[in-house]
Amino acid sequence: MTLESDRRGSANGATADHRPSAPDPRPRPEDGDGPAPADRTEPVDVATATATVRHCLQRGQLVVVQGPEGPLRELARALVEAAGTADLADDAPRHRPATVHDLTVVPTATELTSGPVDSSSDQGQVGGVPDGLVAGAVAELDRQLARVASEDVAGVRARLAEFERELAGTAPPANADELAWAVEDAQDELEQAEDELRALDRQLDRLDRLAGSTAAPTVDDPRGGTEARADTGVMANPVAAVVLDGDELEEALHAANVELDAAADETAELRRALAPFDGLPGRSELLEAHDALGRLRDTLEDLDEGRAELEEAEAALAQAVAAESAAALVPHRVPTSGTPGLLPARVSPPATIVAGLLIVVAVGLLVAGRTAAGALVALVALAAAGVSLLATARPAVPEPQVVRPLPDPDAGTHPSAVAEARARVGRARSALARHHEERSRLAFDLRLSADPAPEDIDRRQADVASFLEARRAADTLVAELAEVRSRFVDADERRSRLTASLMDAAPVATVDPADPADPADPAETAEPTGGELADPVDDGTDGPVDDMTALWRRHHDELAARREAQVQRRDERAARRDQARAELAAALEDATPTHLVQARQAALDVLVRHRRELDRLALARHLLVGPRRPGPAFEWASDLVAASGTGAKGLALGPGGPAVVGGHGATVTLAAMAADQAHLVRTALHLGLARASRQHPPTVLVGLDVAELAPGPVALVVGAVAELSANQPVAVLSWSAATVAAVTTGGVQAQLVTVSAG
């Protein structure tokens, strides 16, 4: 929505355009060009204008108030303020003309698509951007840029530098080594304190154990802690008194404790070393297995031998039986039936058959009447029968037959070779059975199969051998353990003695152990020393039970007191350790200045945001004015203007485009000078020259190199400069002879100065 303020200033002549539209692209008269604004506004009354503005505000539409101050403008301002924008407006700088900047927005998308777009003329525009709009937008961005740039980032930067210095002073790398050493020292101290604490704990534990093992004697157990003391061997080793002074006692006690610890450690170590041998069969068991295996192997050999012997005996028996049979049995005739001396008649089959046949034939012939022939045949048949009879009547010679005799029932009673052989076989069989039985028994004992293979036995023997080896190693360890145990017992005994001595009354008289008559010899004194606590029992006497009870009670109390003192010391140590830890933590906390880093981070944040804001505005400005391609002419002109002193103004024309340079630092680059963008060049010249013409003193410095320009723009430039020079003195400064020539031939009435490019 555009409200065009009434230039006539009439209160009732205000005009308003009800239709939403884009901002008026027409150039303003103060830009030095273009006609006066066309009368495109319609007069509206105040009520209509009010309604319109309110309507636009409610719909979020664009409200652009154009024109000089006037009644409608005042009205619009009032409406805007009434709509609740006073906050922003109040905070705005007072010199700002109106709330227009704060409250104008572009039309909505709907309005854009539906509203009229005035693109009928690009006169006075840059690529469609109204130069007035561009100038205003650039001015607005410059204002914002100046405001952002003027923010107190210098203070932030100074603070940041301060942070950096502080960080450099407290953080790595400057003091890194020192800090590391401090931390290391503190850690060492902590570790040392913890070591001491652990040592104290161990000592306390020992004292606890000692106190437990030295329970006060009772009537039932006058020795007090008998079992424990028996374990430590105290009972078995009555002590020859060694009397030392307090410090020496302490030292000796400490030494005994150390030795005890060492012995205990060693014991534990040995026990650990022995642990793998747990479950190992005993030595006798192993040896038995070894022997059994040997016996089994022997039995297997015996079995083999028995088998061989049995076979041999059986072979011998067979042989003997055969020999005996051959000698004892005589062949004889088996009695047969019939006449003795005559073999039973046997028919000779061929002669008999032939005779029979002939008889049959003869009978046949006789019956047939052939008597002669029949008689002949009968004779032949008789002859054959005779032969047959002769043949069967020959006596046969019987062959002798061997008959196996019946077994001799009296063989046992008659030791013969066979009997011996039989006995041998029997023995061999029984031996084999024994071996079998032995083998089964051994194999069962050895958890082997009933018929073990020799390889099994070998394997088992190897196992047993390795077990025996391990057993030997374990035995060595056990021996060492026993030795350590004895050392432990000794040390414990000494510790007990020393502890008791320490507990005992001080001062301790110095005695000479070599002098048996010395009355101070604790072995002879009535008051038992610690080392003699066990003595009354050990030497068979009952001893003064009451005295011992008192002594043990005192001993116990002393231990409790010492324990309490040590607990107190431990607590103190722990407190000191905690304090050291806290100090260390504090030291590290201070050494790592988190707050400093955070503060530095915050300062960096400010700078980053500041920079981003500046970049954003600069880029936005860049988008408005277009890319700048500074050529030599521009640089040269800028330098020249800068060198000319405050207030100098100038227009530089170069391949990058015309630019107004001046004391305020304002630089406006409008367009690239390209041959196909003549309208851009014209507009640029128009704006630049117009601005230059309004400046005082009216000196225009023109840096121009026509050799870099296309002919079209050169003509435009020359024409523009000529036009400008008609009204005011123009100094054309150029380093290019071609430019000077071009300007001169163009009729420019100007002071031409040719400057060397160098």
Partner 1 sequence: MAFRLLHLADLLLDVPFFGLGPLPRAMFERLRDAPVATLDRLVDAAVDHDVDAVLIAGGTSVGGSVGRSAGGGVTPRSAARLAAALERLAGAGIPTVIVLNGREGGLPTVAGYDLPDAVTVVEPGQIDAVVIEHHGEPAVTVIAASAPLTAEHGGRAARHVPDGDLVIMATIPPGGPPRLDPNVPAAFWALGGSPEPRAGRVGAGWGVVAAPPQPRVLPPPGPRPAAAVLESGPSGPRPPHPLDLADVSLARVAVDLAAASTPQQLEDLVAAGLEAVVDGSRPVMCELVAVGVGPLRSGLSDPATRQRLLARLRAQAAAERTPVWWIDVVTAPLPPVYRTQLAAHWPPAAVIEARATALVAAGPDPALVDARASAGVAGLEGLPAPGAWPALVGDATSVALDALTGARP
Site for partner 1 in 159-198 (CB under 8 A): 167, 171, 187, 190-191, 194
User: CA-to-CA distance for 208 and 259, rounded, in angstroms?
Assistant: 18
DSSP of 44-103: --HHHHHHHHHHHHHHT---EEESSS-HHHHHHHHHHIIIIIHHHHHHS-TTS--SHHHH
Q: Closer to partner 1 by CB, 125 or 299: give it.
A: 125
Q: Closer to partner 1 by CB, 562 or 649: give it.
A: 649
Closest approach, Cβ 594 to partner 1, in A, equals 6
User: CA-to-CA distance for 559 and 568, rounded, in angstroms?
Assistant: 14
Closest approach, Cβ 136 to partner 1, in A, equals 3
Closest approach, Cβ 519 to partner 1, in A, equals 55
Q: Closer to partner 1 by CB, 481 or 603: give it.
A: 603
Q: Does 672 bind partner 1 (CB under 8 A)?
A: no
DSSP of 398-461: PPPB--PPPPPTTSTTS--HHHHHHHHHHHHHHHHHHHHHHHHHHHHHTT--SS--HHHHHHHH
Burial of residue 693, with CB atoms counted within 10 A of its CB: 0-12 exposed, 13-18 middle, 19 or more buried: middle
Q: Could you list the beta-strand ranges (E) of 219-290.
A: none
* Interface positions, 636-665, toward partner 1 (CB under 8 A): 665
Q: Does 596 bind partner 1 (CB under 8 A)?
A: yes
User: CA-to-CA distance for 365 and 376, rounded, in angstroms?
Assistant: 10
Q: Does 618 bind partner 1 (CB under 8 A)?
A: yes
CB contact at 8 A, 353 and 391:
no
Least Cα distance to 226 among 239, 215, 211, 242 occurs for 215
Pairing of strands 2-4, 64-66: parallel
Q: Does 606 bind partner 1 (CB under 8 A)?
A: yes
Q: Does 158 bind partner 1 (CB under 8 A)?
A: no
Q: Does 533 bind partner 1 (CB under 8 A)?
A: no
Q: Does 673 bind partner 1 (CB under 8 A)?
A: no
Q: Does 391 bind partner 1 (CB under 8 A)?
A: no
Classified as helix, coil or strand, 565 is helix
Classified as helix, coil or strand, 516 is coil
Selected range binding partner 1 among 121-129, 291-299, 710-718, 742-750, rule: CB under 8 A? 121-129
CB contact at 8 A, 292 and 445:
yes
Determine which residue in the list 370, 554, 556, 628 makes contact with partner 1, applying CB under 8 A: 628
Question: How many angstroms separate the Cα of 121 from the Cα of each of 124, 126, 730?
Answer: 8, 11, 32
Q: Does 633 bind partner 1 (CB under 8 A)?
A: no
Closest approach, Cβ 87 to partner 1, in A, equals 5
Angle between helices 176-213 and 545-591 in degrees, nearest 10: 160
Q: Does 325 bind partner 1 (CB under 8 A)?
A: no
Closest approach, Cβ 68 to partner 1, in A, equals 11
Q: Closer to partner 1 by CB, 11 or 197: give it.
A: 197
Determine which residue in the list 48, 50, 85, 123 makes contact with partner 1, applying CB under 8 A: 85
Give the largest CA-CA distance in the chain.
206
Q: Closer to partner 1 by CB, 128 or 335: give it.
A: 128
Q: Which residues contact 657 (CB under 8 A, 6 or more apart)?
A: 626, 628, 629, 669, 670, 671, 672, 673, 684
Determine which residue in the list 36, 38, 39, 84 makes contact with partner 1, applying CB under 8 A: 84
Selected range binding partner 1 among 212-220, 223-231, 462-470, 588-596, rule: CB under 8 A? 588-596
Residue 157 main-chain phi, psi, to 5 deg: -60, -45
Closest approach, Cβ 735 to partner 1, in A, equals 22
Q: Which residues contact 376 (CB under 8 A, 6 or more apart)?
A: 362
Q: Does 140 bind partner 1 (CB under 8 A)?
A: yes
Q: Does 102 bind partner 1 (CB under 8 A)?
A: yes
Closest approach, Cβ 448 to partner 1, in A, equals 40
* Interface positions, 39-68, toward partner 1 (CB under 8 A): 57-64, 66
Q: Does 83 bind partner 1 (CB under 8 A)?
A: yes
Classified as helix, coil or strand, 2 is strand
Determine which residue in the list 482, 585, 737, 757 makes contact with partner 1, applying CB under 8 A: 585
Determine which residue in the list 611, 647, 694, 741 makes contact with partner 1, applying CB under 8 A: 611
Q: Does 126 bind partner 1 (CB under 8 A)?
A: yes
Q: Closer to partner 1 by CB, 354 or 624: give it.
A: 624
Among left, alpha and beta (phi > 0; psi -120 to 50; other), residue 626 is left
Provide the mask over 22-41, with x wherever binding to partner 1 is found by CB under 8 A and - wherever it is not.
xxxx--x-------------
Q: Does 132 bind partner 1 (CB under 8 A)?
A: yes
Question: How many angstroms separate the Cα of 680 from the Cα of each of 75, 122, 673?
Answer: 38, 10, 7
